[in-house]
Chains A and B, each alone.
Chain A
Amino acid sequence: MLRFSLRNLLARKLRLALSGFAIVLGVAFVAGSFIFTDALGGAFSGIIKGTTADTEVLPQGGGDFTSAGEDARTIPESVEADLAALPEVAAANGYDQVLGVFVIGADGELVGGNGPPGLAFNYTETQAITGEPITTLVAGELPDGASEVAIDEGTVEEAGYEVGDQVELVTPGAEPVMTATLSGTIAFGSEGGLVGATLTIFEDQAIQDLFFNRRDVYTGISLNAAEGVSQEELAAAAQEVLPAGVEARTGDDFAAENEDAVGEVLGFINIFLLVFAAVAVVVGTFLIVNTFSILVAQRSRELALLRALGASRRQVNRAVLAEALVVALIASTLGLGVGYLLALGLRVLFATFGLDLGGASLTLEPRTIAVSYAVGVVVTLVAAYLPARRAARIAPVAAMRDDVALPESSLRRRLLVGVLLGLAGVAAMVGGFAGSGGIGLTFIGLGMLAILLGVALVAPVLGRPVVAGLGVGYRRVFGSVGVLATENARRNPRRTAATASALMIGLTLVGLMSILGASASASTDEAIDKTLTAQLVISNVIQTPFSTAIAEEARKIEGVESVAQFRQAFPDIDGSQAFVGAADPEQLAQALNIPSAGGLGALPDDAVLATTAQAEGKGLSVGDRVEMDFPVGTQSFTLVGTYPPSGAIPADWLITTDALQAAGIKPADSLVYISLADGADRDAIRADIEGLTDDLPTVTLKDPAEFAEEQKAQINQFLGIVYALLGLAIVIAVLGIVNTLALSIIERTREVGLLRAIGMQRRQLRRMIRLESVAIALLGAVLGIVMGVVFGVVLQRAIADQGLDVLSIPWAQLVLFVVVAAVVGVLAALLPARRASRLDVLKAIGAE
């Protein structure tokens, strides 16, 4: 029987290719996700290992990859000499690390800065645990004196500078913009490059003068072990001579901890990508079921002949499954290859968001291969099982009949299951609303899934009025060709519905996301409109804190009544990273009108405010203690009130500036709100303040409307990524339409011949197929968008208290999606239509 299966596959190479397509793409998505995140992990791991020495000496609890740069604590320079004197130490190199130093290119544009950090430190001769120096001079000289810097090769190239040029830098120090001479270029130790980060090297004294108030201090000291000294021995020996509050940690330990911290973030990215991969796989499953159903239907007489010749049901079943297995194996292999290409695509996509992998190599881990084959084979076999079972049910006598119809379970049963699933989904949703927090949302999510599957099941029935409605239009506009197209779309409702369902799933998600995105934008608008009383806002488009000097200068401008400085930090609360904002309460109360229970103006230094969603999520009520793990140690606050989440305060928790400083976080502003005195000349003041931020390409002054636009740009950017990823699921769905059309045309070869024989022009034939394709696409689009709207509204209502309190439905956009779907239908029909119109009339009529 296996040989029979293989023969069959070879005899139908085209059908094989078509049925394999969906699997290839689904597997490719899964493989691509893994390959990409592995590469990302590899690059970060390279950076971490490439910058870690045998032992790292740091302020206690500091040096965490995620809090680096926020930590204001330092180590006295004298410690370096104490360490260097130890016999276990081969070299002790004190360094000062600063974040937020960016290079302004020759064209005046900032290099990088859309996510990855702008690193700066002084040059050291430290050997990393990889055995390589952390940095190597490539060209020119090391910086000498305060007016020289060296910059990493990649950044120099992108910025368009040459050694000896004057370069402009944005810094978080007292001087927001500085000019220096590029003394040389350096290479970063690790293979993966800097993952989009930029690196500026200062001279020792210069970095201390610029960023550490001329104090002789280091943010950390790297130790290289003497011959034969282990990391543990080195760390233990170093700890002996360290002052209180400073600790020595082995390089391996330190690297592992940072890798874990990065791994957590990368895990999110992987899960995020895999969610879309799952969507693609589900869409693919629909197509595999459909393809195998069609293939089995077309071969039913042949299968009946097998049964008549004595093959058992089981053998027929196995024959079909064996075919599926071979297709799955071939397609999974191809899928791995395509996945590699996809990872390259993801690299480009993420690079536009700043996560630039540069030259990091993409590797194919054994785990990726295993998962890809598992997904490909399991999904295909599961999908092929139903058609295989149906094939086995063909009666042997069917071989003798002229027209063979497969035994099909009636639509009624399917309808019943679909309706029950839908009702269960609605019930789950209703229950979800009654429940609270994460559990409620889980129920709502499950409800959506159930409804989606239910609708997919009843789509053959739901589709009838849609196709019939289209048919009326088709008949009127396209005459008999339109009638034929409509009838073809109706001829096999299951097939049409299954094909449309694949597209429906994609468009449901697109519709859902568009509503959430529009609602988020509208909510941001409203929140800013309602809460922001300041007339001007200074912010950094790259979300990096900027020098406090700007706020200080702004305060001096005549006509400025008050200036509120808003800062951010990311300590852990309950073991997970929290987004904490800090401000002077009195200043902030003048800039924002926040209806906070407990009052903002009287916020003491040991108190915290939380968004209602955070307080609810953590089960906190007013009076409870909140512990935050800052690098200096755990700080305890009393929850004194809550505020609604809004775009005006971009943080989940709020403490005072003094409390933040006490927690050891460097003073740097992320937002500055400016309120003007009554009758002040707004335009003049605006011009004055713009004079302050002029030199900083990323720090800009906005009025509330522009500030809202900036916030919404982030929402749209995120939507862009989501659309791009959903786009792949839609590509699979489109291939599904191509597939179904192509297989249908093979099935209707004689009919095509007949139509041509009695005088249908090639052009008309192509139009007929195109119209059928558009009908399928529109069916999927209409069902998908309707569900997307319903789900979007439901989800918006469910998370209204998390800052998404305004519902906005982007009708124009939704209509556009439907139009695009119709265009997609036209494109999907191109190849099948071409093929059909080129059929030889006589051969087609004579075809079996």
Chain B
Amino acid sequence: MTQTATATGTAASDRAPAASARNLTKVYGGGQTEVRALDGISVDFAAREFTAVMGPSGSGKSTLMHCLAALDSVTSGDITVGETPLNGLSDKALTALRRDRIGFVFQSFNLVPTLTAHENIVLPLAIAGRQPDQDWYDTVVQAVGLADRLGHKPTELSGGQQQRVACARALMSRPAIVFADEPTGNLDSAATAEVLGFLRRTVDEFDQTVVMVTHDPIAAAYTDRVVFLADGRVVGEMRRPTSDAVLEKMKELSAREVAGTAAER
């Protein structure tokens, strides 16, 4: 296996990583139809940082995040979340890890429709059989600005409100890291701004760590650092990104991909 990563988190940050991946490969299928979704990725995500993962379709960004979030298994390589190595953990232990140490925000369908906003927010804690820390709960609810909507069911909330409830839920267990998978993909621009603003605040004010997969340069501009993937490898990194710079880089990556494809022919 070739070490192809050109940039790793440790080089760019002096803080201990909240999550790290070493030499990750993820192979689907075999023989002729083999697809290498991750091709030897090594990357660190520093604590108390807001990171975006970007790349063209099929670059492996979603797979990387699913593996880091203990939702999917890797073919080879090591993942550490907080101080916990994921290797060899049972489904039960992985589930408990997701529950206690990882927060997750999906693109859509983030809430249990039968439960109120409040019940959804405390669900991971309730499943674990723990009482929420009242101060922390108040702080988070205050921050997402939903204090007056807590008794509502998801169908009675707007898309942006639902996504903010999902963000609050992801934070309730004070996780080591929060993963967000295109969290604004289904939202209009105003709601997008609300959600991204909230994620930014959790990093700045509550010392949380957020990793977000996105294809939107504007969303990427809210982050501290952008990691670019292509063909299952890390192909670049940008600190203090602006939407223009990110857009440029993305265009470059797409062009390279087109060229690569043409060259193969």
Contact = CB atoms under 8 A, between A and B. Distances in A.
A563 interface: no
Nearest to A759: B99
Contacts of B66: 842
A490 B113 CA distance: 12
Contacts of B127: 480-481, 755, 758-761, 764
Secondary structure type dominating chain B contacts: helix
A754 B112 contact: yes
A642 to B, nearest CB: 64
Interface in B172-213: none
B114 A484 contact: yes
Contact of A488 (B114, B123, B129, B169): B114
Nearest to A480: B126
B16 interface: no
A751 interface: yes
A757 B98 contact: yes
Contact of A490 (B91, B99, B100, B114): B114
Secondary structure type dominating chain A contacts: helix
A841 interface: yes
Interface string B110-123: 11111100010001
Interface in B48-107: 66, 71-72, 91-92, 95-96, 98-100, 104, 106
A483 B169 contact: no
Residue of B66, B92, B110, B127 with most partner-chain A CB within 10 A: B127
Interface in A469-484: 479-481, 483-484
B28 interface: no
B84 to A, nearest CB: 14
Contacts of A845: 106, 109
Nearest to B122: A480
A758 B109 contact: no
Nearest to B112: A751
Nearest to A481: B127
Interface string A669-701: 000000000000000000000000000000000
B95 A754 contact: no
Contacts of A483: 115, 119, 126
A750 B154 CA distance: 15
Contacts of A666: none
A574 interface: no
B257 to A, nearest CB: 24
A480 to B, nearest CB: 3
A756 B95 contact: yes
Given A479-B126, A488-B114, A759 B92 contact: no
A488 B112 CA distance: 10
Contacts of A759: 95-96, 98-100, 124, 127-128
Contacts of A758: 98-99, 104, 123-124, 127, 169
A750 B109 contact: yes
B91 A762 contact: yes
Contact of A487 (B106, B115, B169): B115
Contacts of A764: 127
Contacts of B99: 758-760
Interface in A755-790: 755-764
Contacts of A488: 114
A430 to B, nearest CB: 42
A756 B123 CA distance: 11
A759 B112 CA distance: 13
Contacts of B113: 491, 751
B21 to A, nearest CB: 17
Contacts of A481: 127
Contacts of A756: 95
A757 B71 contact: yes
Residue of B104, B110, B112 with most partner-chain A CB within 10 A: B112
A758 B91 CA distance: 13
A754 B96 contact: no
Interface string A131-171: 00000000000000000000000000000000000000000
Contact of A754 (B92, B109, B155): B109
Contacts of B111: 754
B105 to A, nearest CB: 10
A841 B104 CA distance: 13
A483 B123 CA distance: 10
A725 B41 CA distance: 65
A479 B130 CA distance: 10
Contact of A479 (B109, B110, B114, B129): B129
A757 B169 CA distance: 12
Contact of B96 (A484, A487, A490, A761): A761
Interface of A: 403, 479-481, 483-484, 487-488, 490-491, 750-751, 754-764, 841-842, 845
23 contacts: A484-B115, A750-B109, A751-B109, A751-B112, A751-B113, A754-B112, A755-B112, A756-B95, A757-B71, A757-B106, A758-B98, A758-B99, A758-B123, A758-B124, A758-B127, A758-B169, A759-B128, A761-B95, A762-B91, A841-B71, A842-B66, A842-B71, A845-B106
6 closest pairs, A vs B, by CB? Answer: A759-B99, A480-B126, A487-B114, A759-B98, A759-B124, A758-B124
